[in-house]
Amino acid sequence: MADILKKDQFILPEGVVYLDGNSLGPMPKTVPQRMQGVVTDEWAQLLIGGWNKAGWMEMPARVGDSVGRLIGAPKGSVVMGDTLSIKVYQALASGVKLRPDRRVILSDTGNFPSDLYIAEGLVGLLGQGYELRTVAPEDVAEAISDDIAVVMLTEVDYRTGRKHDMKTITEMAHAAGAVMVWDLAHSAGALPVDLAASNCEFAVGCTYKYLNSGPGGPAFIYVRPDLADRVEPALAGWLGHARPFDFDLNYTPGAGIERMRVGTPPVLQLAALEESMKLWEDVDMNDLRAASIALQEQFIAEVEAAVPALTLASPRDATVRGSQVSFRFEHGYAAMQAVIARGVVGDFRAPDIMRFGFTPLYIDTADVTKAVGIIADVMNNDLWDDDQYKVRARVT
pLDDT in tens, 190-211: 999 999 999 999 999 999 999 9
Statement to judge: residues 229 and 378 lie in one domain: no
Catalytic-role residue among 89, 208, 220, 222:
208
- Is residue 186 within 8 Å of residue 208, measured between CB atoms? no
Statement to judge: residues 382 and 298 lie in one domain: yes
Statement to judge: residues 169 and 190 lie in one domain: yes
Our answer to whether residue 183 is catalytic in this structure is yes
Whole-number Å distance between alpha carbons of 64 and 150: 24
CA distances from 327 to 100, 305, 308, 314 (A): 43, 13, 11, 7
Does residue 40 form part of some domain? no
Our answer to whether residue 370 is catalytic in this structure is no
Does residue 267 form part of some domain? yes
Statement to judge: residues 271 and 157 lie in one domain: yes
Whole-number Å distance between alpha carbons of 98 and 121: 19
Catalytic-role residue among 222, 355, 367, 389:
355
Statement to judge: residues 274 and 339 lie in one domain: no
Q: 255, exposed or middle or buried, with CB in 10 Å at 0-12, 13-18, 19+?
A: exposed
Last residue of a domain, one of 248, 280, 312: 280
Catalytic-role residue among 82, 183, 347, 367:
183
Last residue of a domain, one of 254, 280, 306: 280
Statement to judge: residues 159 and 266 lie in one domain: yes
Domain CATH for 352: 3.90.1150.10
Does residue 90 form part of some domain? yes
Does residue 50 form part of some domain? no
pLDDT for residue 197: 97
Statement to judge: residues 258 and 291 lie in one domain: no
pLDDT for residue 234: 87
DSSP 163-190: B--HHHHHHHHHHTT-EEEEE-TTTTTT
Last residue of a domain, one of 255, 280, 305: 280
Our answer to whether residue 65 is catalytic in this structure is no
Statement to judge: residues 241 and 305 lie in one domain: no
Alpha carbon 272 to chain centroid distance? 17
- The reply to whether omega before 351 is within 30° of 0 (cis) is yes
Indicate the pairing of strand 179-183 with strand 148-154. Answer: parallel
Does residue 45 form part of some domain? no
Statement to judge: residues 326 and 211 lie in one domain: no
pLDDT for residue 111: 96
pLDDT by position in tens, the chain (length 396): 568 899 999 999 999 999 999 999 999 999 999 999 999 999 999 999 999 999 999 999 999 999 999 999 999 999 999 999 999 999 999 999 999 999 999 999 999 999 999 999 999 999 999 999 999 999 999 999 999 999 999 999 999 999 999 999 999 999 999 999 999 999 999 999 999 999 999 999 999 999 999 999 999 999 999 999 999 988 989 999 999 999 999 999 999 999 999 999 999 999 999 999 999 999 999 999 999 999 999 999 999 999 999 999 999 999 999 999 999 999 999 999 999 999 999 999 999 999 999 999 999 999 999 999 999 999 999 999 999 999 999 998
Q: Report the number of distinct structural domains present in the chain.
A: 2
Catalytic-role residue among 10, 18, 89, 112:
112
CB atoms within 10 A of CB 212: 27
pLDDT for residue 3: 83
Domain CATH for 205: 3.40.640.10
Our answer to whether residue 112 is catalytic in this structure is yes
**What is the value of pTM for the model shown?**
0.96
Does residue 47 form part of some domain? no
Beta strand ranges found along 313-387 (DSSP E):
324-328, 344-345, 347-349, 353-357
Q: Which domain holds residue 378?
A: 7-29+284-389
Does residue 370 form part of some domain? yes
Statement to judge: residues 204 and 164 lie in one domain: yes
Our answer to whether residue 226 is catalytic in this structure is no
Statement to judge: residues 228 and 322 lie in one domain: no
